[in-house]
Structure 1
Amino acid sequence: MDVDLRKLRYFVAVARELHFGRAAAELHIAQPVLSRQIRALEAEFGARLFRRDRRSTELTEAGRQLLEDAPPLLAAAEALRRRVVRAEGGAGRFVVGFMPGITVTAAVRALRERHPGLAVEVVRTSWAEQARVVLDGRADVSFVRLPVEPRGLVVRPLFAEPRVAALPVGHRLAGGASVTMAELAGERLLQDPVVVPEWRGGSGSAGPRAETVEEKLEYVAAGEGTVVLPSSVAAFYTRADVVHVPVADIAPNRVGLVWAAGRAAPLLAEFAGLATELVDGGRRSPDLVGGSVGGSR
């Protein structure tokens, strides 16, 4: 059976909204058209994907499985489209994604020097987008802060760096050489606790909602709470009203390079080798150097 990607996109929209009307509005199509397309997809799979009544829409077990598997397939199709469009112009182009605080200049410069006719571009990413830019084709490789979901990816660990707590000037802990997680337990964490799995603060992430590092540091400076950052990010966002104190009993942040599993372009392996040697001046931990891990699953 050939999977119709358009119907698959329609399914994902309904599965995420669990409401045909809202999904139809999001897709800019009429609801009866959407319903027919979903019924056609169910017929093609020979499986019921939704349970519907007048009050609710729910995924079946088959629907939950399809929702797990469909997004990577759609992302791969979009990545294919982007790469073909990029190649149509004839000039070679290689795009490198990177997270804030990770310096990639040396590896990018080395690739340009080896391939003078290649346009090597960089794009800044966010925590949510750092791996997605590779899966959907916006970047060929991306420097990420681990962990990332490895599905559909090859992950090359590079180096590790310590993490620090950002505290307002004048805070009771701001003058110490280091702090412990126990000492931070009474603070509000101004970021997703998933990013700091060691967090044991009783107030959890009850502080103000903030997406960017700049926003988080504004709240830190105002005494609203703390954030735990890799040391390179803290150095990049230095400001006079915020102090960065090393956290003594927390695992370092690990940095890696990712690209789409299944791609065999020689430039990928070449750039990965350059990154291993050159990124951040070769600042690598011995236990993080080596071949690819992860991959598709």
Structure 2
Amino acid sequence: MNLELRQLRYFVAVADEMHFGRAAARLHMTQPPLSQAIQALEASLGARLFHRSKRSISLTAAGAALLPEAKRLLAQAQLLPELARRAAAGEAGRLSLAFVSTADYSILPPVLREFRERYPQVQLDLREATSDVQLEELAQGRIDAGLLILPLPDKSKTELNCLKVLSEPLVLAAPTGSKAIHGKDAVSLKAVSELPLLIFPRRIAPAFHDAILACFRDHGLTPLIGQEAIQMQTIIGLVSAGMGIALVPQSVSNLKRPGVEYRALKEKTPVIDTGLTWRRDNDSPVLHAFLKLLREK
């Protein structure tokens, strides 16, 4: 069965007018072709839609059941051009976005809030993932974009584009009550170098991992690695438990955890960059709408 919207429009017009002549006039056509079209529709459906007499017509049970669904389909069909226009303009559709946990304490919430306000018809698929996982997801085409720690590995630069959205220094996260930080606004690495360092595995974000260790090495210090953890929340939790210190991006200080205090470092520290990364061959209008918003920041 191959139903056409034209047939449904004819059926609705006759059902509304309950008169073939008035329905034909409403449709700007003559009555015979309209009657033939309704008969063809009934034949396709295998059911009569109207009771006919010389003086009147009325809906059959099948016609009464079909009428609201036919009106719904016609109404939806009227929305299709606008839907296509909005999708082409990036105003509707779906955006799959991954993000590192540090972005959740800084750039991500305000950007998502503004994006939702601008594009309420876009469905957001959000997932937290480490930088290495995001790179794999991008390579497989399972996400549209990822907010991750820069720089990108050299092997990824030919396939991925990148937009830097945040630069921030490292700060110290230490257990509350540590003598080395008591009463101080800024702390020297040397003062805390004997405490275990809590850090994530190098495979998660090699450049970020190396930058943390370089902070110690550049000042003639060798940190004692106490524990590795994948998630930043876990690292801060370990600091709260008194298991050591951590060097974290400044935005992580927005994660208020009992038992943890944040301090600036007296030494010059590397800047940690966060960026949005996406495949060069991804021409999604929704993605480009998201990029436009980020470039305005």
Coarse TM-score class (shorter-chain normalised)? 0.5 to 0.7
DSSP 3-state at the match of 1:263? coil
CA drift of 1:110 comes to: 4.2
> How has the CA–CA distance of structure 1 residues 184 and 265 changed in structure 2, closer, same or farther, with 3 Å as cutoff?
same
Is 2:126 aligned against 1:126? no
Q: 1:96·1:140 contact (CA, 8 Å) conserved in 2?
A: yes
TM-score, normalization by structure 2: 0.55
Q: SS at 1:198's partner residue?
A: helix
State the AA in 2 paired with 1:239.
R
The Cα shift of 1:204 comes to 3.4
CA contact (8 A) 1:130 1:144 kept: yes
Say whether residues 1:183 and 2:191 are aligned partners.
Answer: yes
For each residue in 1:27-81, what CA deviation from the matched residue of structure 2 results, as whole angstroms up to 9, or x when unmatched? xxxxxxxxxxxxxxxxxxxxxxxxxxxxxxxxxxxxxxxxxxxxxxxxxxxxxxx
1:170 to 161, 173, 177: 177
Distance in 2 (CA, whole Å) between partners of 1:154 and 1:197 is 28
Shift of the 233–131 alpha-carbon distance from structure 1 to 2, 3 Å rule, reads farther
Q: Which of 139, 144, 147 is the matching residue for 1:140?
A: 144
User: 1:98 corresponds to which residue?
Assistant: 99
Q: Give the whole-Å Cα distance in 2 for the aligned partners of 1:255 and 1:215.
A: 20
In 1, Cα distance between equivalents of 2:230 and 2:270: 23
1:124-273 matches, within 5 Å, as 124-150=128-154, 151=156, 152-175=159-182, 176-192=184-200, 193-194=209-210, 196-200=212-216, 202-236=221-255, 238-248=256-266, 249-273=268-292
The percent of aligned pairs where both chains have the same amino acid is 24
User: Between Structure 1 and Structure 2, whose CA radius of gyration is higher?
Assistant: 2
Alignment partners' CA distance in 2, 1:174 and 1:93: 47
CA distance in 2, matches of 1:268, 1:212: 27
> Measured at CA, do residues 115 and 220 of structure 1 come closer, stay the same or move farther in structure 2, by a change above 3 Å?
closer
The answer to whether the 8 A contact 1:96-1:142 is kept is yes
What is the deviation of 1:177? 0.8
Aligned residue-pair number: 187
| In 2: Cα distance, 1:268 partner to 1:133 partner | 16
Using a 3 Å threshold, how does the CA distance of structure 1 residues 170 and 110 change in structure 2: closer, same or farther?
closer
Gaps of 5+ in 1: 1-90, 283-297
Distance in structure 1 (CA, Å) of the matches to 2:275 and 2:213: 19
